[in-house]
Amino acid sequence: MTASELAGRFEHIYGSVPRIFRAPGRVNLIGEHTDYNDGYVMPAAIGFFTQVAIAPRSDRKLVVRSEEFERDFEFDLDHLPQSRVGAWCDYVLGVASVLQQEGHALRGANLLVRGEVPIGAGLSSSAAVEVASALALLSLNGAAMALPEVAKLCQRSENNFVGARVGIMDQFVSCMGKAGHAFFLDCRSLEFKLVPMPPDIRLVVCNTMVKHALASGSYNQRREECEEGVKILARWDPAIRALRDVSLELLERHAKDLSEDVYKRCLHVVREDQRVLDAAECLRKGDLKRLGELMRDSHRSLRDLYEVSCRELDVMVEAAEGLPGYCGGRMTGGGFGGCTVSLVHSANAEDFAQEIAKRYEAATGIKPNVYVCSAEDGAQALN
């Protein structure tokens, strides 16, 4: 839906002319489950967007509707919930609630949300809603907030209001992504580098159609296992604050002090951080062969050490092997379902999409959605 179509829908429903903001979903090329360990990630924003249309009201109500979900919601700005209500509006409401808790004076408003990022597919539909909502709400009280701050605000909303202990990657790249570039981010310092994508490479995103709805418990559990590792390893080196600070050598030396699961989680993170550094270098040098190998290694590690893959993701990754133009690929996002990302030469991308869909369906009986994507720009105002 275009912005002017959404504006038309808004006027029809609410009788006023809105401003419209949009924010994209993302794929992560490499660096999985490293962001909350103060490590490195290299995602890219993709061309699926959530748009939020907004106009002020004269009273103190926040009215939130969506083009995708039946139920609309009305809240009193003077009594906003402080934690999730268990409905789709949580990602909008959470941002409003956190803004208010942090001293921003919100105005009454009507909102209409149009989301085109596939939900529960590991492409950060929630970050897209949060970021677009934050820009929309901030626009009404005239407060300028730098995009990295918007990203952090949205992460706090997801951590504290929604209750998912996510890292900063999704919100950050949704805010700051750049067309034609991978986004290398140091999740400790929040310094980033834009790494140009070779123009003849496409990001082919294959949705297994397995929803990762049950994943949030396991996600938080993985975080706890990483924290457990840090607690134990810091006994030998008090400078260790996060797995980012752990060398492979120190980890191996103290492997026997960790439970088997905690050791495996730590090993994944420590090696994955190095893979992201290597992958950024490969992309810079145009070494797609080695980059592809790093992506394959990352997948195997997520499958065997971090244990966040599932049969369908493994089938999809395997199905890509041998197809013309394929450089490499892996599961992307938190895991337990969702999508894979494959680097494919542009000339082969459409054939690749068709062929992998056939192979996957033959192996699983599930018809996947396959999208041929490029890196796109992050969040922006549309009018």
Cβ closest to ligand GLA, residue 36 vs residue 48? 36
Which residue has tokens 């549309």?
382
Q: Which of 14, 20, 27, 35 binds ligand GLA (CB under 6 A)?
A: 35
Beta bridge mates, 112: 53, 65
Least CB distance from residue 199 to ligand GLA, whole Å? 27
Give yes or no: 261 in active site: no
Of 12-20, 27-35, 58-66, 270-278, the segment contacting ligand GLA by CB under 6 A is 27-35
The residue range among 10-18, 30-38, 269-277, 320-328 that interacts with ligand GLA, by the rule CB under 6 A, is 30-38
Candidate residues 38, 130, 170, 312; the one interacting with ligand GLA per rule CB under 6 A? 170
Nearer to ligand GLA, 134 or 169 (CB): 169
Measured from the CB atom, the residue of 170 and 245 that comes closer to ligand GLA is 170
**Site for ligand GLA contains 114 (CB under 6 A):** no
Binding of residue 130 to ligand GLA (CB under 6 A): no
Q: How far apart are CA 267 and CA 297, in angstroms?
A: 13
- Helix/strand/coil (H, E, C) string of the chain? CCHHHHHHHHHHHHCCCCEEEEEEEEEEEECCCCHHHCCEEEEEEEEEEEEEEEEECCCCEEEEEECCCCCCEEEEHHHCCCCCCCCCCHHHHHHHHHHHHCCCCCCCEEEEEEECCCCCCCCCHHHHHHHHHHHHHHHHCCCCCCHHHHHHHHHHHHHHHHCCCCCCHHHHHHHHCCCCEEEEEECCCCCEEEEECCCCEEEEEEECCCCCCCHHHHHHHHHHHHHHHHHHHCCCCCCCCCHHHCCHHHHHHCHHHCCHHHHHHHHHHHHHHHHHHHHHHHHHHCCHHHHHHHHHHHHHHHHHCCCCCCHHHHHHHHHHCCCCCEEEEEEECCCCCCEEEEEEEHHHHHHHHHHHHHHHHHHHCCCCEEEEECCCCCCEECC
Shortest distance (Å) from residue 235 CB to ligand GLA: 26
Q: Is residue 338 a contact residue for ligand GLA (CB under 6 A)?
A: no
Least Å from the CB of residue 162 to ligand GLA: 11
**Cβ closer to ligand GLA: 169 or 197?**
169
Per CB under 6 A, 44 contacts ligand GLA = no
* Residue (30 or 112) nearer to ligand GLA, CB: 30
Q: Which of 333, 337, 368, 378 binds ligand GLA (CB under 6 A)?
A: 333
Residue type at 335 in one-letter notation: G
337: contact with ligand GLA by CB under 6 A:
no
| Residue 355 sits in the site that holds ligand GLA (CB under 6 A) | no
Catalytic residue among 35, 90, 170, 273: 170
Name which of 42 and 135 has its Cβ closer to ligand GLA: 42
Rule CB under 6 A: choose which of 30, 166, 195, 357 binds ligand GLA. Answer: 166
Q: Does 38 bind ligand GLA (CB under 6 A)?
A: no
Footprint of ligand GLA (CB under 6 A) = 32-33, 35-36, 166-167, 169-170, 333-334
**Which residues carry out catalysis?**
170
